[in-house]
């Protein structure tokens, strides 16, 4: 599926001057193809040309002595070489057109596909386009005419001094192409993954925020005025950063706030048993990056989890970032109750697995609660976590 962008619609990652931003492509997870694999892909394509040209070469070898002799030759003698030459030309033409079509419409050649590389439009990350690829071939052919062997070698080697450091050769610039490593990076032809990556980049917080006016005083700014570094939507004012002079010279330090202990639980003489809140099970989810999240009741985990019909009103929504982009929107649920800990796959695209303490892994059937034993962990896409400190 391709997406057509209108001329007046800005292209993400392209500046006002029309130049693509390499940092935006890197933030999406696009990886430029390494020089060694690009060279290996070209060698595979060239090997195909060489093999298919064998009939034409044999025909030329047979015809050279006849032409050099200059004498009248029986037509039957020429029939074999001429047929071989025609077969060689047909094979080379078919191979060339196939390579052009694959490169223009799918961004691959036989060599690129073999090594996990793909050419895309450098601005939109869509297919390069057939005529752009034809233009690259014409420029390469012209370089061969002007400087045989040397000209094409310079064109291919020009990627080594690409000022952007992405290995784009002169031929890539002529065709507005960028060659990507889709084995280790994002494949932009995966429309769902690309849309998710764009949303992640566009929603990422800015590294620097402008200082907001102080809420502490209406006085002018001096060394005793506390200017908050940031505000949250809940109205909580953050502490000033330590690197700011006004925060270190005469800064106001808030008094410590004592922890308020919860009132002692009282049991009514007429109570038949503990309340539901008192028996609410809880635990700590420990993720691979060290993050620890307190959870209780039902916890929904995914890219952007949402409650469905039948989920508890107080279910915890836990969004998780997955660099491999293998998480579904609501991937799985972790349920804590008096019977222990259970994991339920929520019909995710890539499935959920429980990895036992001995290393054995079992895929979960969607919609069915599966018990999580001590020492086991849960794998969702490229994310893994374990459960600790279970309290019934």
Q: What's the average pLDDT block by block, 10 residues per block, for the chain (392 residues)?
A: 50 81 88 92 93 91 77 68 89 93 93 93 91 92 91 90 89 92 88 81 54 48 47 44 45 51 45 44 83 89 89 90 87 88 90 88 90 87 85 68
As given in the structure block, the two tokens for residue 282 are 């809880």
Sign of CA dihedral 13, 17, 23, 29: positive
Identify the residue whose tokens are 């009103």.
Answer: 313
Sign of CA dihedral 47, 49, 55, 57: negative
Output the pTM of the full model: 0.51
pLDDT at 319: 92
pLDDT at 276: 43
Backbone angles phi, psi at 291, to 5 degrees: -65, 140
Q: What is the dihedral of CA 23, 115, 348, 283, to 10 degrees?
A: -70
pLDDT at 265: 46
pLDDT at 5: 46
The angle subtended at Cα 292 by Cα 308 and Cα 309, nearest 5°, is 5
The C-alpha atoms of residue 122 and residue 177 are separated, in whole angstroms, by: 5
The C-alpha atoms of residue 50 and residue 84 are separated, in whole angstroms, by: 15
Contact in structure between 365 and 346 (CB atoms under 8 Å): no
pLDDT at 277: 44
End-to-end CA distance of the chain: 50
Residue from 195, 5, 194, 189 nearest 106 by CA:
189
Contact in structure between 210 and 231 (CB atoms under 8 Å): no
* Chain centre to alpha carbon of residue 257: 44
pLDDT at 256: 56
* Chain centre to alpha carbon of residue 50: 36
pLDDT at 113: 93
What is the helix, strand, coil percentage profile of the chain, to 5?
35, 20, 50
Residue from 114, 143, 130 nearest 38 by CA:
114
pLDDT at 95: 94
Q: Burial, 137: exposed, middle or buried (Cβ in 10 Å; 0-12, 13-18, 19+)?
A: middle
Contact in structure between 232 and 209 (CB atoms under 8 Å): no
Strand ranges, E, within 260-360: 282-287, 292-296, 298-302, 316-319, 332-337, 340-345, 352-355
Number of Cβ within 10 Å of residue 52's Cβ equals 19
């Amino acid at each position: 599926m391709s997406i057509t962008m209108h001329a007046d619609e800005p292209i993400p990652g392209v500046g006002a001057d029309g130049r693509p931003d390499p940092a935006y492509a890197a933030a999406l997870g696009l990886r430029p193809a390494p020089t060694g694999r690009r060279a290996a892909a070209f060698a595979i394509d060239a090997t195909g040309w060489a093999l298919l040209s064998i009939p034409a070469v044999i025909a030329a070898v047979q015809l050279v002595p006849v032409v050099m002799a200059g004498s009248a030759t029986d037509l039957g003698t020429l029939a074999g070489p001429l047929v071989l030459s025609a077969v060689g030309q047909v094979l080379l033409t078919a191979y060339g057109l196939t390579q052009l079509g694959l490169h223009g419409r799918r961004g691959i050649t036989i060599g690129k596909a073999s090594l996990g590389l793909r050419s895309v439009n450098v601005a939109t990350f869509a297919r390069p386009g057939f005529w752009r690829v034809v233009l690259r071939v014409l420029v390469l052919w012209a370089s061969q005419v002007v400087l045989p062997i040397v000209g094409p070698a310079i064109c291919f080697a020009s990627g080594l001094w690409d000022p952007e450091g992405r290995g784009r050769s002169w031929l890539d610039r002529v065709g507005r192409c960028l060659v990507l490593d889709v084995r280790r990076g994002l494949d932009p032809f995966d429309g769902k993954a690309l849309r998710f990556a764009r949303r992640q980049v566009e929603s990422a917080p800015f590294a620097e925020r402008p200082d907001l006016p102080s809420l502490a005083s209406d006085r002018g700014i001096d060394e005793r005025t506390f200017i908050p570094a940031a505000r949250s939507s809940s109205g909580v004012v953050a502490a000033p950063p330590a690197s700011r002079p006004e925060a270190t010279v005469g800064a106001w330090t808030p008094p410590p706030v004592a922890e308020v202990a919860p009132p002692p639980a009282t049991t009514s003489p007429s109570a038949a048993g503990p309340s539901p809140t008192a028996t609410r099970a809880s635990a700590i989810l420990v993720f691979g990056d060290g993050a620890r999240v307190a959870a209780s009741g039902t916890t929904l985990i995914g890219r952007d989890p949402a409650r469905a019909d039948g989920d508890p009103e107080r279910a915890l929504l836990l969004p998780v970032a997955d660099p491999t982009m293998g998480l579904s929107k609501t991937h799985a649920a972790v349920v804590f109750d008096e019977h222990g800990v259970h994991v339920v796959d929520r019909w995710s695209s890539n499935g959920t697995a429980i990895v036992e303490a001995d290393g054995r892994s079992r895929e979960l059937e969607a919609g069915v609660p599966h018990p999580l034993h001590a020492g086991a962990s849960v794998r969702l896409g490229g994310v893994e976590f374990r459960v600790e400190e279970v309290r019934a």
